Structure 1
Amino acid sequence: MSTVKIAAIDLGTVSSRLLCAEMRNGQITASTKRTVITDLGERVDATGVFAPAAIDRVTQACTEFVRKAREFGAQHVCCTLTSAARDVSNGNELLDRLRNLGLVPQVIPGEVEARLTFYGVARDFANERIAVADSGGGSTELVVGRASDGGLELDCAESLNIGCRRVTERFFSSVPPSADELDKAAAWARAQFEPYWARLANRPERLVAVGGTVTTLVAMVHELAVYDSHFVHLRDLTIEQVEDGIDRMRSLTVEQIAQLPGIQAKRAPVILAGAIVVRELMRAGGYGRLTVSENSLLAGAAATIYEAAMSGRTVIGWIPELSSW
């Protein structure tokens, strides 16, 4: 079967991402990825609307993404929006701009987001029952299941409205926050996660986490002056390392956090809250360590785009609307 070129665009609460991939027989044979921190979810938790500046940032990023996808020769393009877009009343302002770029934007439900993420991650853990957590800016997707040649077996897929941007804006009056604000944020986060884990009679031994918070924590722990995705992928992160990161950041300003090795300046305002979310996720689930994956929704989206384009059927049961140029 010939190679098919696809592009997947994912517009999240904190970052906007593009994956351009060559695919053959459902597998990625070559790819490039671009991530821009656009903070689409800025003040969404408080206002329920996209800020004009946030819409402008995402539009600018997507203009570049479309240019790169065209240069790449993408035959099929999918554009998804997640938590922030599910929460706002003025989403059409952004969706109309994306349509003007030639995209077909889709605001996907949390369960679809969870399935796409699991599909992208689980290929590295074939036939192993795992828990997958995607902790983003506005939500955290949790899925337990197994991937095998027969497809996906999912026990529990859920999207919770808890993420680094949401926690920062809801609980921190400033950065650094007070000790009381940190304690309240941690207690609230843990209370969100406990019911999910309580419903599982048999929790998997392995927790796999994706997203900018956990990849940044690995970069900070290992003091990566230059981010190395190959080093980060499938690296373990212990709860003690997460605790150390929190202790290191809890009394620092945003500017001081940005100076730490491995921290992107634009992620500095939300990484402390993100670390608290990850710690409470681990505590609630009883996990002393997790495995960090560089694969995520984009990898799952790539496989799903290929399946939809080739056969009109997909493993996860969701059919994306595609732009074809």
Structure 2
Amino acid sequence: MRARRICCAARPHDTLDPIVIWTSAAVEPPRMEGFGAEERNSMRDGGRETGGLDSAREQEHLRSRPGRQTLHRYGHRDDRRGGLPTYAALDLGTNNCRLLVARPAGDGFRVIDAFSRIIRLGEGISSSGRISEAAIQRAVDALAVCRDKMRNRGVTRARLIATEACRAAENGETFRARIAEEVGLELEVIDRETEATLAATGCTPLMDPHADAVLLFDIGGGSSELVRLDRSLPCHRGPPPPQIKAWISLPMGVVTLAERHGGHLVTRDIYAAMIAEVAAFVSRFAAEHGALGDAQVHLLGTSGTVTTIAGVHLELRRYERRRVDGCWMGNEEATRVIERLLAMSYEDRVANPCIGAERADLVLAGCAILDAIRAAFPCKRLRVADRGLREGMLVQMMRADGIWEREARTY
């Protein structure tokens, strides 16, 4: 599919980079939630279904400074059904390429299509300093799928971000130029503060409304973010904005840690060494922001690591997002799962339906990062979020467009 990049005048307060317009007509999608049919049961391209963003109240009922933005606008201004705009959020991380396509619904949004594929863009960067040709080709293939999904869903506004791999690689800009040329997508490389803010924005609806504060962590492939959140302020419409008290980005994630220490055979000594390496960074943040006192504080985790731990804890025979997103785990329950994973062989981890071959060599590195965080911030409860940067982007775009204020005026 050929694409042409053009420039257009920005709306007030927006900064627009070149956008991509497809000249083909939008394909009207059937009504659905979560993945498209081709991804619903595929472990390779996700297999982890994605729903909408519910408010904290709805979740409980069901269960008992930013960087410069690349805001793409496509040729179709509104969806043909009811005039609703269609948004897309793409997160190209060190390990995964993920996409959500959504439309506003009530106080949140409803996901109409999604895509997730492990591409390991950051593979080998810690030693070579460069994104490899093999990783670039995997990214090109995955991003082409995302491009076609956005086209077919008639996306009217999108934000497409890249994180640590593109920040760290010496050929990051060359990679971006190649994606623009071969795929027709302009990627925005965000800074770490923006990454932390987006994660907080996407996960804030899962904060316990009675908690005094929350320690949010996002264990990525090349970096990991910790965010201290205060209790959310009342919000008339839409998801509550995050009240960020402090944040830190650790220069390590599951890919970089596993490459340094190994991911296939992880002994107790190797695991302890990984924890110690992470703890050296976490301790600096904990010294200033780790005093919990008598405050009601819980952990809130978003990442493949914590959702995998939750899936194993729930004994899922296949990953089910509806059961994982928003579930609670006690501190001892998390410990038991990690001990169970440490006792598994690499082959056992591959055979587990919530881990699989693509995560088997990374999951213990993620557990080590989590254990360093748990040691620095001892909390009795951990809530699991199968949401994060993409949901944060969608919320920010819809809020900037006044979506929820507009809906409120219609009542």
Q: Normalising by structure 1, report the TM-score.
A: 0.88
Q: Which moved more, 1:183-192 or 1:65-74?
A: 183-192
Corresponding letter in the other structure for 1:184 = A
Deviation at 1:49, TM superposition (A): 1.0
2:223 matches 1:133: no
- The reply on whether 1:178 has 2:267 as its aligned counterpart is yes
Instruction: State which drifts further: 106-115 or 89-98.
Output: 89-98
CA distance in 1, matches of 2:276, 2:206: 33
Which consecutive aligned stretches of 4+ in structure 1 deviate over 6 angstroms post-superposition? none
Decide whether the 8 Å contact of 1:239 with 1:279 is kept in 2. Answer: no
The within-5 A match list for 1:1-325 is 2-23=83-104, 27-100=108-181, 101-125=183-207, 128=211, 129-145=213-229, 146-148=231-233, 149=235, 151-172=241-262, 175-200=264-289, 202-203=291-292, 205-250=297-342, 252-308=344-400
CA RMSD, 1 decimal? 2.3
Shift in Å at residue 266 of structure 1? Answer: 0.6
- Aligned pair in 2 of structure 1 residues 151, 178: CA closer, same or farther (>3 Å)? closer
Contact map agreement 2:319 2:353 (CA 8 A) in 1: no
Q: Is the 8 A contact 2:309 2:338 kept in 1?
A: no
In 2, Cα distance between equivalents of 1:25 and 1:234: 19
Q: Measured at CA, do residues 307 and 25 of structure 1 come closer, stay the same or move farther in structure 2, by a change above 3 Å?
A: farther
Range moving further from structure 2, 178-187 or 213-222: 178-187
TM-aligned CA distance change 1:29 to 1:250, over 3 Å: closer
Q: How many correspondences in the alignment? A: 310
Following superposition, the deviation at residue 255 of structure 1 comes to 3.1
1:24 CA drift (Å): 5.3
How far apart, in 2, do the equivalents of 1:98 and 1:237 lie? 40
Query: Which of 228-237 and 128-137 deviates more?
Result: 128-137
1:177-222 deviations in Å (ceiling 9; x for gaps): 3333222111112222121122116546111000111001111122
Task: Report the AA paired with residue 123 of structure 1.
Answer: P
* Cα separation, partners in 2 of 1:24 and 1:241, compared to 1, 3 Å: closer
Matched residue of 2:289: which SS?
coil
Contact 1:132-1:209 within 8 A present in 2 as well:
yes
Shift of 1:302: 0.5
- The 2-side partners of 1:26 and 1:60 are apart by 34
Question: Contact 1:126–1:147 (CA<8 Å) still a contact in 2?
Answer: no
Q: Distance in 1 between matches of 2:119 and 2:104?
A: 28
Q: Letter of the 1:108 partner, please give it.
A: I
Question: Which blocks of at least 5 consecutive residues in structure 1 are unaligned?
Answer: 312-325
Bigger mean CA offset, 256-265 vs 174-183: 174-183
Alpha-carbon distance change, 200 to 232 in structure 1, aligned in 2, over 3 angstroms: same
* Larger fraction in helix: 1
- From the two aligned structures, give the one with the greater strand fraction: 1
The Cα shift of 1:83 comes to: 1.4
Contact persistence 1:10–1:16 (CA under 8 A): yes
Deviation at 1:252, TM superposition (A): 4.4
Return the offset for 1:5.
0.3
**SS of equivalent to 2:284:** helix
Identical positions, percent: 27
Higher relative contact order (CA 8 A, sep 6+): 1
The CA distance in 2 between the partners of 1:160 and 1:118, in whole Å, is 16
The answer (yes or no) to whether the contact 2:166–2:173 under 8 Å persists in 1 is no
| Separation of aligned partners in 1, 2:206 and 2:310 | 19
Q: Distance in 2 between matches of 1:251 and 1:24?
A: 44
Distance of 2:363 and 2:208 partners within structure 1: 31
CA separation in 1, counterparts of 2:327 and 2:241? 26
